[in-house]
Each structure stands twice: as structure tokens, then as C-alpha cells.
């Protein structure tokens, strides 16, 4: 988190958190002292500079890692309250709340506890299962759900770092899935090559679809938020149109394409000799996700294009003055973001589902936005956020079947986490933590923003 030392670059992209931190005490009245900070808020970054570190304890208490943990805890608690509220026994008991309040609390607590225990068993470790393989299967299921989230989340994170709001991961996943699935079932190629071709096709499909808003923004200044939202809907109709075409639906069997050829599917990751008798669905897409995370880290932190990308995100005017072509950066960023979403699609069609359906993208594209936000647009942050949300998703299914708690609660928890992460002062206020404001930082930030305000 605080490992970066290029203040000039981190300023813009960190504005969201930093300014929120600074504005914490007077924020309620809307009279923050820091007028220069009116930059578009968004992604997050180092909260501390080397020169002004008060104390280790203070740093831990106000650091963003702790904020993330507290936000998750708080969100789970609020979700728990909702579960308790929806529980029939709790509501029955609340009818006589004032005569015996403990009944209500006990019923509510047990509803909440049962749900979260089921969620844990469904996502990490199931101690009631018969064999070791079955016990750790939930963990692999979490990873299966995490793979597309991580990949698409990385795509969105790259966009955020360049100051682009790529809401279009959903559409990019769909188009990537169409291409990857088509390459997967319509051709007959040697084993490894077929898989690589399908993966590459999916990535290119996503990249092209992501490049459209990039091109329109670079060339015509079209707002990428609107364009990507529209492209999402177009993609939904596109996939439903494609699935009606003879090439995708030869038997007219319904809303499912032919199965992807076995040569074009990701091999399973956990071999039988390692965990005997396993039925894990976890495939090599997970390795792709790790490699993609490494690639994005390299891209953002070590490469020239990544430098330009962050510069354009932090301050496009300055980047332009420094001789960078901001339009080109926007286009390249969206191409990369789309390609990553396309990879997420390959994890679905070549790994988990192995054919194309209308719901192949599920809601991964939208969930990925929250993943990138929780990960603060950092590659590894996004990776772990993807793991967490994958676990919530996997656990949600068992919770739904065991305790009849609808999986929608996962959406609630996810969105509360992101809301809280985006507003650290709120979390601090709830847990009564110190705020990390310090004068030297405030002064160092009053740069170019006045003009835009």
C-alpha cells in the first residue's frame, strides 16, 4: 500500500481516499478545508508519505489495510442484521420484544450465525464432509468463482488507474465469450494450440469491444461511462442473436451452443494423484489469473506504457504537456482492459461452463467493478478482492441451500463493503479511529486542481 514513492503520479489517482481522509472532520457540513482537492475521486493508493509518519500504531489504526478489514467486518455485520430481520423466528420473537428481548436477540443471532457458518463451509472448508477432497472442495469452488472476477477486475483496475470508468466489462466478457466459444467448438486444432487460439481469440474479442469506447473517447471525447453501459446492453442482445444463428445452435436445442472441443478447454488444475478422488472444477484459468495479475503489476509499475497510463490518469493536461499522446493512452488502456475481460470470458467458456449460454457472463462484469474498487485498483489488491468476492459467491450458494438465506445478501454485503471502503471517514467514525490528516500533506497537494474545480 505505502510502498510507492512517486508522489507526482499517485496524487490524482489517490485523490479519492486522500481527500476523503483530509476532509473527515468538517465533512458533515460540506466545508472541507481543502479546496484544491476537487479532483475526480476514484481509485486509491498510498495513504502515507515517508516524511510524516506519526507512529506505527497511528499508522496501523488509520491505514487502508485496516480500513478494508473493518469495512468487511462492518458490512458482514450489517448483512447479518438483514438476515436476522428476514428470519421468521426472529420476527415472531420480536412481537414480544419488550417482555423478553433476549428471545429476539438469540433468534436473530442464531439466524445470522447459521448463515455465516454455512457461508464459510461453502467457501473455505467444510468440516462435515466425508473425505478430505470434499472438505476442501469449497475452497477450490471459491477460486473457480474468483478467476473471472480477478481477470475482469484487473481490466477495470487498469482503466481506473488511467482515469477511465470502464463499466463495460460485462459486454467485453460477453463478446470475448462469443469469440472464444466459437473458436472452441467450430474448429479442429491440435490440443495445446487450440486452447491458445481460443484464449487469444477471447482476449482479442474483448479487446476490440473494449477498444470501441476507447476509440470514441480518444477521437470524439465520448464519455466512456455511457458508451460502455450502452455496449453492455448491445452485447446482451448480440449474444441472444448469435445463439439463434445456425452456427451457434445447430440442433436448435435451446439457448446453449455446442460444447467446446476438449482440446480447447483449460485442463483441470488439481490432478487426481495430488488429491485422490477429487471432483474439483478448478482449472488452469486460475494460473492465467495469477499470470495476468503479474502482468498488470509489471505493466503499471515497470513499463513505459504503464507510466504514461498513470500519468494520463493523474493529470491528463500534464501528461499532454509532457509529450504523451493521451488519446493513444486511452485507446491502449481500453484495449488492455478489454483483453483482460476477454480472458475472464475464456475462464467461463473454456473452463467452467464449456459452452456458450446467454447467461455466460452472469454478473461478473458488474461484480468486477466492486472487486477493482475493493482492491483499490492495485493488481494484488484486486487479486485478493477477487478471491474474497469469489468466496462470498461460492459460500452464498451453500448458504442459500442450507439456511434458505437468499444469495442476494452477498450483493448487499459486497456493495456495503465498497461504499465503506470509498468513504474511510465513515468507517473511522463508526470505530472511533484517529484520522491520518497532517498539515504537510495538505499543503503538498495544492497543485493544478483549482482550474478544474
Partner 1 sequence: MSTPVTPAPAQPAPAAQTAPGATRPRVGWKTPIVYGLAALVTLLLFVPGTPAGEQTTFQFGSGTEFFTIPDVPVPALITIVLLTVIMAAAAVWAVLLVRQRRHAPAWLHVVVGVAFVLAFLTYAGAGRTSVIPMVSLLAGALALSVPLVFGAMSGVICERSGIINIAIEGQLLFGAFAAAVVASAVGTGYAGLVAAPIAGGIVGAMLAWFAVSYRVNQIIVGVVLNTLIIGLTGFLFATVLADNKEMWNTRMPLPRLPIPLLSEIPVVGPVLFNQTILVYLMYALIFGLQFMLFRSRWGLRTRAVGEHPKAADTVGIKVNVRRVWNTILGGAIAGLGGAFFTVGSGLAFGREMSAGQGYIALAAMILGKWNPYGAVAAALLFGFSKNLGNVLSTIGSGVPSEILLMLPYVITIFAVAGFVGRVRPPAAEGVPYTKS
Binding residues vs partner 1 (CB under 8 A): 16, 19-20, 23, 27-28, 30-38, 40-42, 82, 86-88, 165, 167, 216, 219-223, 225-227, 229-231, 233-234, 237-238, 240-241, 244, 366, 369-370, 373, 405-406, 408-416, 418-419, 422-423, 425-426, 450, 452-453
Name the maximum alpha-carbon separation found in the chain: 73
Q: Toward partner 1, which CB reaches closer, 355 or 377?
A: 377
The residue assigned the cell 474439483 is 280
**Residue 162: helix, strand or coil by DSSP?**
coil
Give the CA-trace dihedral at 432, 436, 439, 441, to 10 degrees: -150
Q: Toward partner 1, which CB reaches closer, 198 or 215?
A: 215
CB of 232 to partner 1, least distance (A): 8
| Distance in angstroms (rounded) separating the CA atoms of residues 147 and 287 | 9
Q: Toward partner 1, which CB reaches closer, 137 or 449?
A: 449
The residue assigned the cell 510502498 is 3
Q: Toward partner 1, which CB reaches closer, 126 or 367?
A: 367
Q: Toward partner 1, which CB reaches closer, 137 or 376?
A: 376
CB of 332 to partner 1, least distance (A): 19
- Measured from the Cβ of residue 130, the count of other Cβ atoms closer than 10 Å reads 9
Cell of 51: 516524511
Q: Toward partner 1, which CB reaches closer, 198 or 394?
A: 394
CB of 236 to partner 1, least distance (A): 9
Phi, psi of 280 (to 5 degrees): -65, 140
CA distances from 288 to 200, 313, 351, 365 (A): 12, 27, 11, 18
DSSP H stretches of helix in 284-353: 285-302, 304-314, 316-321, 326-346
Closest by Cα among 177, 122, 112, 108 to 148: 177
CB of 94 to partner 1, least distance (A): 13
Q: Toward partner 1, which CB reaches closer, 249 or 415?
A: 415
For residue 268, give the DSSP letter.
Answer: B
**Residue positions counted in the chain:** 453
Q: Toward partner 1, which CB reaches closer, 7 or 425?
A: 425
CB of 425 to partner 1, least distance (A): 6
DSSP H stretches of helix in 187-254: 191-220, 224-242
- Helix 169-186 vs helix 364-374: angle between axes, to the nearest 10 degrees? 130
| Distance in angstroms (rounded) separating the CA atoms of residues 355 and 205 | 16
Phi, psi of 331 (to 5 degrees): -60, -45
**Residue 54: helix, strand or coil by DSSP?**
coil
CB of 325 to partner 1, least distance (A): 19
CB of 148 to partner 1, least distance (A): 17
CB of 364 to partner 1, least distance (A): 13
Q: Toward partner 1, which CB reaches closer, 215 or 319?
A: 215
Q: Toward partner 1, which CB reaches closer, 43 or 265?
A: 43
Burial class (CB in 10 A: 0-12, 13-18, 19+), 152: buried
| Distance in angstroms (rounded) separating the CA atoms of residues 248 and 356 | 8
CB of 116 to partner 1, least distance (A): 15
Question: Does residue 262 contact residue 181 with C-beta atoms inside 8 Å?
Answer: no
CB of 234 to partner 1, least distance (A): 5
Amino acid at each position: 500500500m505505502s510502498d510507492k514513492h512517486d508522489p507526482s503520479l499517485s496524487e490524482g489517482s489517490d485523490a479519492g481516499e486522500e481527500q476523503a481522509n483530509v476532509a473527515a472532520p468538517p465533512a458533515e457540513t460540506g466545508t472541507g478545508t481543502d479546496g484544491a482537492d476537487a479532483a475526480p475521486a476514484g481509485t486509491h493508493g498510498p495513504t502515507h508519505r515517508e516524511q510524516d509518519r506519526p507512529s506505527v500504531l497511528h499508522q496501523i489504526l488509520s491505514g487502508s489495510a485496516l480500513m478494508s478489514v473493518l469495512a468487511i467486518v462492518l458490512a458482514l455485520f450489517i448483512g447479518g442484521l438483514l438476515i436476522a430481520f428476514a428470519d421468521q423466528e426472529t420476527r415472531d420473537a420480536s412481537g414480544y420484544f419488550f417482555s423478553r428481548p433476549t428471545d429476539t436477540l438469540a433468534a436473530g443471532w442464531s439466524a445470522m450465525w447459521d448463515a455465516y457458518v454455512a457461508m464459510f463451509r461453502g467457501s473455505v472448508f467444510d468440516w462435515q464432509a466425508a473425505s478430505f477432497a470434499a472438505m476442501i472442495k469449497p475452497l477450490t469452488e471459491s477460486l473457480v468463482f474468483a478467476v473471472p472476477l480477478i481477470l475482469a477486475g484487473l481490466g477495470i483496475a487498469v482503466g481506473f488507474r488511467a482515469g477511465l470508468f470502464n463499466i463495460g466489462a460485462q459486454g467485453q466478457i460477453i463478446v470475448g465469450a462469443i469469440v472464444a466459444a466459437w473458436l472452441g467448438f467450430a474448429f479442429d486444432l491440435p490440443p495445446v494450440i487450440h486452447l491458445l487460439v481460443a484464449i487469444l481469440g477471447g482476449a482479442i474479442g474483448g479487446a476490440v469491444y473494449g477498444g470501441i469506447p476507447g476509440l470514441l473517447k480518444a477521437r470524439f471525447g465520448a464519455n466512456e461511462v455511457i458508451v460502455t453501459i450502452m455496449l453492455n446492453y448491445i452485447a446482451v442482445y448480440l449474444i441472444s442473436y448469435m445463439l439463434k444463428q445456425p452456427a451457434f445452435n445447430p440442433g436448435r436445442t435451446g439457448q446453449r451452443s455446442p460444447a467446446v472441443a476438449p482440446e480447447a478447454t483449460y485442463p483441470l488444475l488439481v490432478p487426481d494423484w495430488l488429491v485422490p478422488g477429487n471432483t474439483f472444477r478448478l482449472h488452469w484459468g486460475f494460473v492465467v489469473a495469477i499470470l495476468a495479475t503479474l502482468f498488470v503489476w509489471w505493466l503499471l509499475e515497470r513499463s513505459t506504457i504503464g507510466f504514461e497510463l498513470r500519468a494520463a490518469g493523474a493529470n491528463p493536461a500534464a501528461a499532454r504537456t509532457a509529450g504523451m499522446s493521451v488519446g493513444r493512452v486511452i485507446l491502449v488502456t481500453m484495449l488492455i482492459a478489454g483483453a483482460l475481460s476477454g480472458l475472464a470470458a475464456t475462464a467461463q467458456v473454456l473452463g467452467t461452463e464449456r459452452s456458450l449460454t446467454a447467461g455466460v457472463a452472469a454478473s461478473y462484469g458488474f461484480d468486477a467493478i466492486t472487486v477493482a474498487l475493493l482492491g483499490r485498483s492495485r493488481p494484488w489488491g484486486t487479486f485478493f478482492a477477487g478471491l474474497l468476492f469469489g468466496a462470498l459467491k461460492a459460500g452464498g450458494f451453500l448458504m442459500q441451500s442450507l439456511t434458505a438465506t437468499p444469495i442476494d445478501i452477498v450483493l448487499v454485503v459486497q456493495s456495503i463493503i465498497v461504499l465503506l471502503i470509498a468513504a474511510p471517514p465513515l468507517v473511522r467514525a463508526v470505530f472511533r479511529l484517529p484520522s491520518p490528516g497532517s498539515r504537510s500533506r495538505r499543503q503538498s497537494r495544492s497543485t493544478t486542481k483549482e482550474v478544474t474545480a
